[in-house]
């Protein structure tokens, strides 16, 4: 895919809107608004097919350089795509980690051979990636990773366990943080390996969540193998690549996330109107607070992306990974408790219906939002860790 002929933002918006209207129809119509955190169990096969449809339309990798198979679109048009996608009710992206985490890592730290091997599978929506960082004793303290990898006969051999690995049960590949030098100091002995999931040395066990479904897993490596070349950066350089990867989480897709929150808010507001719950001043106050929270997030995200969208890799829609500020931490600290509170509001608005449960009972969206809300302040770095980072890096306070 070469560089598209330049289009005005208005024309581009109309193109995106038209494509989504034409394609989020027929077999894909039931996917509108489905999937995403808390709903990852929904329409999995159909959403995988949707990824491929997005790939066929060249809607994956919009900001990647044309020579790497992207469209080289400016940041403003990537933002438009995400806005329109959320507005149309585009389903939660199974390829989120592939496109938003691994692809930027490959573009920034990968070799030409790695880019040529792995970017096409991401761009076509045919290869799904998961993130293998956390372990039973290495979550917030990620440098404590114990999964080990040893280079023998042209292959890395992996032994160890990962946990909370989202979508590992459907992923083709995993980007794994592993210890390759047991003698080096904590952060120094780690490497960033690309490991195929479908092999005898990998076992995936689902973890059942409060919602009754499983979107994350335990992953066991028992002499799992990957080629010697499947390492991003040098051996021992994994910490830098892993942290760079996390830095990409504040990318332009945050715009779509915000639009999704807006839609969830409107659903809760709509239900509050229908049930008469707004007559209760306490509920009305919480609805107002939720709306204010949305505005605060919107302005913060605009300022954040503005700050990171001005140069370096950001010109390709990729924030600079080596000099991350604390903007992403602030945004996470705003949205995660906000969405948790929205879930609490949603069940209060639903009233006694929210307590319904039982065998074979399908949770309502309000119940799911409420129950999954417990995870919001944990994944992607807990709120306590976000505060620590802001305090230490942003304010220069002493380490706790
Ligand atoms: C829905 C979901 C999806 C996830 N998906 C993935 C995934 O795909 N891949 C992956 O690798 N991981 C994933 N995770 C794991 C996630 O990154 C970790 O849960 C998170 O980093 C916290 O680590 P932990 O669970 O080990 O908790 P711990 O680190 O043990 O923390 C427990 C509590 O102690 C607090 N705490 C810990 N250290 C400090 C400190 N220094 N100062 C103050 N408080 C502290 C924490 O904030 C937390 O409240 C996912 C988690 C969830 C909930």
Protein residues with CB under 6 Å of any ligand 1 atom: 130-134, 139-140, 164-166, 216, 375, 378-379, 381-382, 384-385, 388
Phi, psi of 216 (to 5 degrees): -130, 175
Q: For residue 174, with 0-12 CB atoms within 10 Å meaning exposed, 13-18 middle and 19 or more buried, which class applies? A: buried
Cα gap 394→381, rounded to integer Å: 16
- The SS3 call for residue 32 is coil
Cα gap 297→78, rounded to integer Å: 19
How many residues are recorded in the chain? 400
Cα gap 69→60, rounded to integer Å: 9
Q: For residue 325, with 0-12 CB atoms within 10 Å meaning exposed, 13-18 middle and 19 or more buried, which class applies? A: middle
Cα gap 219→147, rounded to integer Å: 11
> No. of H helices and E strands in the chain?
12, 8
Cα gap 366→350, rounded to integer Å: 7
Residue-level pLDDT at 311: 31
CB 128 within 8 A of CB 94: yes
Q: From the CA of 162, give the closest atom in ligand 1.
A: 11
Residue-level pLDDT at 320: 42
Q: Report the relative pairing of strands 173-179 and 129-132 from DSSP bridges.
A: parallel
Cα gap 196→384, rounded to integer Å: 33
What is the residue with the minimal CA distance to atom 23 of ligand 1? 139
Residue-level pLDDT at 257: 83
- The SS3 call for residue 232 is strand
CB 333 within 8 A of CB 300: no
CB 197 within 8 A of CB 172: yes
Q: Up-side HSE of residue 71: CA atoms within 13 Å toward CB?
A: 21
* Of 42, 51, 135, 249, catalytic: 249
> Chunked in runs of 10, what are the mean pLDDT values of the chain (400 residues)?
75 98 96 88 94 98 95 91 92 94 96 98 98 97 97 98 97 98 92 98 96 93 98 97 85 79 93 94 98 93 62 38 63 93 96 86 90 92 91 84
Task: Give the count of beta carbons closer than 10 Å to the beta carbon of residue 329.
Answer: 22
Distances (CA, A) of 14 to 2, 10, 17, 181, 307: 21, 6, 5, 52, 27
pTM of the model: 0.92
CB 246 within 8 A of CB 239: no
Residue-level pLDDT at 3: 56
CB 148 within 8 A of CB 77: no
Mutating to test ligand 1, I would choose from 39, 140, 372 the residue with most ligand atoms within 8 A of its C-beta, which is 140
Mutating to test ligand 1, I would choose from 139, 190, 388 the residue with most ligand atoms within 8 A of its C-beta, which is 139
Distance of CA 178 to the CA centre of its chain: 21
Would you call 249 a catalytic residue per the annotation? yes
Q: How far, in Å, from the CA of 381 to the mean position of ligand 1? A: 6
């Amino acid at each position: 895919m070469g560089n598209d002929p330049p289009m005005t933002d208005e024309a581009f918006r109309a193109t995106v809107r038209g494509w989504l209207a034409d394609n989020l129809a027929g077999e894909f119509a039931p996917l509108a608004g489905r999937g995403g955190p808390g709903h990852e169990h929904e329409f999995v096969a159909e959403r995988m097919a949707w990824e491929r449809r997005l790939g066929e339309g060249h809607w994956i990798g919009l900001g990647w350089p044309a020579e790497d198979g992207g469209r080289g679109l400016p940041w403003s048009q990537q933002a438009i795509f995400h806005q329109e996608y959320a507005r149309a009710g585009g389903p939660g992206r199974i390829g989120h980690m592939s496109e938003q985490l691994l692809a930027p890592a490959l573009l920034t730290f990968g070799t030409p051979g790695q880019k040529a091997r792995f970017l096409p599978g991401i761009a076509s929506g045919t290869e799904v990636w998961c993130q293998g960082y956390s372990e039973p004793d290495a979550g917030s303290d990620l440098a404590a990773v114990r999964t080990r990898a040893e280079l023998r006969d042209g292959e890395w051999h992996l032994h160890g366990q990962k946990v909370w690995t989202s979508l590992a049960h459907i992923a083709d590949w995993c980007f794994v943080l592993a210890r390759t030098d047991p003698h080096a100091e904590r952060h120094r002995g780690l490497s960033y390996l690309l490991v195929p999931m479908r092999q005898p040395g990998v076992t995936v066990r689902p973890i059942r969540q409060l919602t009754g479904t499983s979107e994350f897993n335990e992953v066991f490596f028992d002499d799992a193998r990957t080629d010697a070349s499947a390492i991003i950066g040098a051996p021992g350089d994994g910490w830098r690549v892993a942290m760079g990867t996390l830095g990409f989480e504040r990318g332009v897709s945050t715009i779509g996330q915000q639009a999704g929150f807006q839609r969830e808010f409107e659903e809760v507001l709509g239900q509050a109107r229908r049930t008469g719950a707004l007559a209760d001043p306490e509920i009305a106050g919480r609805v107002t607070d939720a709306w204010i929270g949305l505005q605060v997030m919107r302005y913060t995200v605009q300022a954040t992306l503005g700050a990171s969208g001005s140069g370096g890799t950001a010109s390709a829609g990729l924030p600079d990974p080596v000099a991350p500020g604390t903007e992403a931490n602030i945004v996470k600290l705003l949205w995660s408790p906000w969405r948790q509170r929205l879930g609490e509001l949603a069940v209060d608005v639903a009233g006694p219906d929210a307590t319904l449960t039982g065998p074979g009972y399908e949770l309502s969206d309000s119940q799911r939002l409420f129950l999954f809300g417990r995870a919001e302040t944990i994944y992607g770095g807990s709120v306590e860790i976000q505060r620590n980072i802001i305090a230490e890096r942003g304010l220069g306070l002493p380490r706790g």
